[in-house]
């Protein structure tokens, strides 16, 4: 099978970690008889340096011609990088919002798994994490506060800012259906997170989700306010299977979930549209403070590549092989610095990629 993959290496540690994911994908192709056709694309600061904008129309066109896109991290140091002297719509992160909208990537999947081998890196008490946990955060990605109208004006001599939070029932329905479909393949439980005690948008969210739930009688639905969910994630993360929520809440909760897994360097991510196309990226940032040092953890990006094989290409065996290889490498005691613990073997970015690729079978 020929896999046409757009590759956005990005900024900071992005090129380092994406290179290792490509190494693992190439090994999968070698073992399972696939060819990888990569199209190297620019976005974020790397695109600003070349084109003056974080995302060009040509990059969007080429991305649409691919079967999927694998991306690294975008952005730099907001205090020192010249990218952040530009207008907000010209900064690196603006490219992220633009490509999500252009590719209609409305469903963001962020698995949060605590590996038994990494339970020592989890900041929670051992009695809470005993047996590990495995949840999927389903975040709506192209609506809500981040895409609403915004303005800053002077009113009666006082500077005042406005941000609009808007959702319609169609936007809510399609993300809810994805969440219930995924729950059917997991433990058949959906926790819908909102702020329905305050927000009209959340009250509509809850109403639509309940209607969708009627088509999935095998799945248990519960509603949870976002502040309670934030507490429950650290109190009892094992209770969650699929967490379904809107854009801003999902942004915050998924980062919280990443830290209770031990490291954000372990958290993969997929953003899907209504077809098989998806954009796959690690959930962490570009970490400019460690860029070029060869110490970044590539596992989240490698696991994102596994999600790409599973969701965009229906190559479940190949995805399983990557996930198994990651688990075996961790079981053998190999660690990057962010997940290092006493008695384990510390390795750098490239070596970790070599080890995982070496376990693909």
Beta strand 150-155 pairing with 158-163: antiparallel
Active site residue 195: yes
- Specify whether 65 is catalytic: no
Q: In this model, does residue 62 exceed pLDDT 80?
A: yes
CATH class of 123-260: alpha beta
Q: What is the mean pLDDT of residues 342-351?
A: 95
* 126 vs 135 pLDDT, higher one: 135
Q: What is the mean pLDDT of residues 65-76?
A: 96
pLDDT average, residue stretch 91-119: 90
295 is in an annotated binding site: yes
Whether 185 shows a pLDDT value over 90: the answer reads no
Residue that wins the pLDDT comparison between 125 and 14: 14
Q: What is the mean pLDDT of the chain?
A: 94
Q: What is the pLDDT averaged over residues 267-294? A: 93
Q: Given 67, 194, 241, 251, which residue is catalytic?
A: 251
State percent of the chain over pLDDT 70: 100
- The pLDDT assigned to 99 comes to 94
Catalytic status, residue 227: yes
Q: Which of 93-97, 114-118, 159-163, 337-341 has the lowest mean pLDDT?
A: 114-118
Domain ranges of the chain: 1-106+263-361, 123-260
**In the predicted model, is pLDDT for residue 262 greater than 80?**
no
Q: Quick one: pLDDT at residue 28?
A: 98
Whole-number Å distance between alpha carbons of 232 and 222: 13
Tell me the β-bridge partners of 221: 190
Has 134 been annotated as catalytic? Answer: no
Q: Phi/psi of residue 38, each to 5°?
A: -90, 140
Whether 1-106+263-361 shares its CATH topology with 123-260 is answered: yes
What digits encode the pLDDT tens for the residues 302-335? Answer: 999 999 999 899 999 999 999 999 999 999 999 9
Q: Which of 209, 203, 218 is nearest to 191 (CA)?
A: 209
**Percent of the chain at pLDDT above 90?**
83
**Domain range 1-106+263-361, CATH class:** alpha beta
Whether the per-residue pLDDT at 121 is higher than 80: the answer is no
Annotated active-site residue 314? The verdict is no
**Residue 345 near residue 339 (C-beta atoms within 8 A):** no
Catalytic residue of the set 39, 101, 146, 189 = 146
pLDDT for residue 326: 96
pTM of the model: 0.85
Out of 65, 163, 215, 227, the active site residue is: 227
Assess contact for 143 and 169: CB atoms under 8 A.
no
Reply yes or no on whether the pLDDT at 46 is more than 90: yes
Contact 306, 68 (CB under 8 A): no
């Amino acid at each position: 099978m020929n896999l046409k993959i757009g590759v956005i290496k990005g900024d900071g540690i992005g090129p380092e970690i994406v290179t290792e994911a490509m190494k693992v994908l190439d090994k999968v192709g070698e073992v399972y008889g696939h060819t990888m056709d990569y199209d190297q694309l620019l976005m974020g600061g790397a695109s600003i340096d070349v084109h003056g904008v974080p995302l060009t129309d040509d990059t969007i066109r080429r991305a649409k011609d691919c079967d999927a896109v694998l991306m690294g991290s975008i952005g730099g140091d907001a205090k020192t990088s010249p990218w952040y002297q530009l207008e907000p719509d010209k900064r690196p992160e603006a490219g992220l919002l633009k490509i999500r909208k252009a590719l209609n990537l409305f469903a963001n999947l962020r698995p949060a798994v605590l590996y038994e081998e990494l339970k020592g890196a989890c900041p929670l008490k051992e009695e809470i994490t005993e047996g590990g946990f495995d949840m999927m955060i389903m975040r709506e990605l192209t609506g809500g506060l981040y895409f609403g109208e915004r303005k800053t004006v002077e009113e009666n001599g006082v500077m005042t800012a406005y941000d609009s939070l808007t959702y319609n029932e169609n936007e809510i329905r399609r993300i809810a259906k994805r969440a219930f479909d995924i729950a059917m393949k997991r433990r058949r439980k959906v926790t819908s997170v909102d702020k329905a005690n305050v927000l009209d948008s959340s009250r509509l969210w809850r109403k639509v989700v309940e209607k969708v739930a009627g088509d999935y009688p095998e799945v248990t639905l519960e509603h949870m306010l976002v502040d309670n969910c934030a507490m429950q994630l650290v109190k009892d993360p094992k209770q969650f299977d699929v967490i379904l929520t809107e854009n801003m809440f999902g942004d915050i909760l998924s980062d919280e979930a990443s830290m209770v897994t031990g490291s954000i360097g372990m958290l993969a991510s997929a953003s899907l549209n209504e077809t098989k196309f998806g954009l796959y990226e690690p959930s962490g940032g570009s970490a400019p403070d460690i860029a070029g040092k060869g110490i970044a953890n590539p596992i989240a990006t490698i696991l994102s590549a596994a999600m790409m094989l599973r969701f965009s290409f229906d190559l479940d065996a190949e995805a399983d092989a990557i996930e198994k290889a990651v688990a075996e490498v961790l079981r053998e005691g190999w660690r990057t610095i962010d997940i290092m613990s006493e008695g384990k073997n510390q390795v750098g970015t490239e070596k970790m990629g070599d080890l995982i690729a070496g376990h693909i079978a």
